[in-house]
Amino acid sequence: MRRLTVSNRPLLLAVVVSLFISASPVLAQQSCESLSTLKLSGATVTSAATIPAGPLAGPAGPGGGTSAATVPARCEVKLTIRPSRDSEIKSAVWLPVDGWNGKYQQVGSGGWAGSIGYRAMVEPLIRGYAVAATDNGHEGGGGAAWAIGHPEKLIDFGYRAVHETSVQAKAVIRAFYGRDPAWSYFAGCSNGGREALMEAQRYPEDFNGILAGAPASDWSHLFTGFVWNERALLKSPGSSIPPAKLPAIQNAVLAACDSQDGLKDGLLSDPRTCRFDPAVLLCKDADGPNCLTAAQVDALKAIYGGAKNPRTGEQIFPGWPAGSEAAPGGWAAWITPANPAASVQANFGNTYYGQAVFEDPKWDFRTLDFDRDVRFGDAKAGAVLNATNPDLRSFRAAGGKLLQYHGWGDAAISAVSSIEYYDSVQTFLSKFPDAGSNAGRPIADFYRLFMAPGMGHCGGGAGPNSFDAFSALENWVEKGIAPALLIGTGTVAGDSTKKMTRPICAYPEVAQYKGTGDPNDAVNFMCAAPSR
């Protein structure tokens, strides 16, 4: 098992920051309501009001609604930010009335955004953070119709709204508390994970620590993969795979591959090692719930294989890993519901190409050219939406720490894409190494990836699907304690009444069973290089 050496440089930085704060003049805290007249460069305060402790009563829709948690008293400041003539970015900042921990956290959005994620702001506030979120520059998250004829709004959604919110929120914090936050963090999953990586790539000094969950980082190619799956499932009337057949598929995958990681537990530690051939499920006689027709076998192979350029054979986006096909809320919703044209993936893929790329609401997915049209989409939309730049040298030089996680059972975003990005950063740094004090230091010094077996999209699924990645990030940033592993909790695959714990190891290591003891207890595992 690899031994980790923790640098004490972050500890020295913490001391310097602490001394700087104590030596800086501290202004008296303003009243919340006085912030309504605060003058900001490029932004307007639209309201500032003290909200007493109680349940969340936000607007209806994504990010709004109620929260079961009691939300602490806060000063709520709402902003409209206009970095361009066509911009109208709405953001909200919550400032703890009492018990501010001296830190700032910004939370990411999901899907096409279009609303402020108030629910996601609750937990950081409870932990004492000043916290902010944005609608990414438009209202309504059902698609990208707002992008038609509005290239500046696409830029706002792509990266500008998150950065501008960070700048303005810190100005509000400074005005209210009389000092800057000692540490700043960003945390998001899905599109929020893409935003997280975008911040590290484009604005390396915005945040000290970044938590990127299941990032939709290769946006243009991910959404191409959605259309690829839709086309595969609708290639012929018999290509669609009914949800009722998903258990048979998953059972066949596990029968072939479950024991490869040394433990037969309904989880694949690394599904990439599974060489499952869907043809073993080919119906020998009549069609039935436990077999696949020839057309369905072809469709499943296409989903596992991922989108490819028909002219060059180049992989456009990786396929979806095997082993979690029947997980609740997984493939049956995202990929192959009763009507594949109504899948979540199909909706996203069609709105991306029809609205953000071709700006034609009547665009037909069957017309997509996986060579020419993909290149056009990359140039028009991918240039502002994709967070795939492997050059993180500036983020590293700024002292930033990046913690990324992804569930192997994610039916929304292929988990392989997270590994591909991590590997691309490692390859880039080997070719173009850092200068100065970071020269020759390993990527794990500032960037770590954790792959969770069985976990679905941003949570849920079988296995160790719940873990406190944010506290691990805090300890890394503020105390210099780099996370070698995260302890995940969840339920045993196939038995939702039985609890389990397991280490989630820093990639490329995986959790390996020691051979004795309760396999549902994390203490009986160790992190080690995967066996191939």
Catalytically annotated residues: 190, 410, 457
C-beta of residue 353 within 8 angstroms of C-beta of residue 230 = no
Pull the structure tokens for residue 195. Answer: 């935003």
Q: Among residues 390, 387, 443, which one has the least CA distance to residue 190? A: 387
Q: Where are the beta strands (DSSP E) in 351-446?
A: 401-407
The C-alpha atoms of residue 181 and residue 196 are separated, in whole angstroms, by 19
Query: In this structure, what DSSP letter does residue 204 have?
Result: T
Angle at 198 between CA 196 and CA 201, to 5 degrees: 115
> What backbone torsions phi and psi does residue 311 show, to the nearest 5 degrees?
-85, -45
Helix 219-233 and helix 294-305, axial crossing angle in degrees, nearest 10:
170
Q: Is 503 helix (H, G, I), strand (E, B) or coil?
A: strand
**338: Cα within 13 Å, side-chain hemisphere:** 0
Can you tell me which residue has the tokens 């990527």? 443
User: Bridge partners of 528?
Assistant: 510
Are 45 and 77 within 8 A, CB to CB? yes
Structure tokens at 91: 């953001």
Report helix angle 161-177 to 191-202, nearest 10.
Answer: 80
In this structure, the strands spanning 447-452 and 183-189 are: unpaired
Structure letter (DSSP) for residue 453 = T
Which of 232, 229, 212 is closest to 221 using CA atoms? 229
For residue 97, the tally of other CB atoms under 10 A from its CB is 17
508 prior amide bond cis, ω within 30: yes
User: How far from 129 is each of 29, 161, 196, 460, CA to CA, in Å?
Assistant: 16, 20, 18, 26
Bridge partners, residue 499, by sequence: 491
- Phi, psi torsion values for 502, nearest 5 degrees: -160, 145
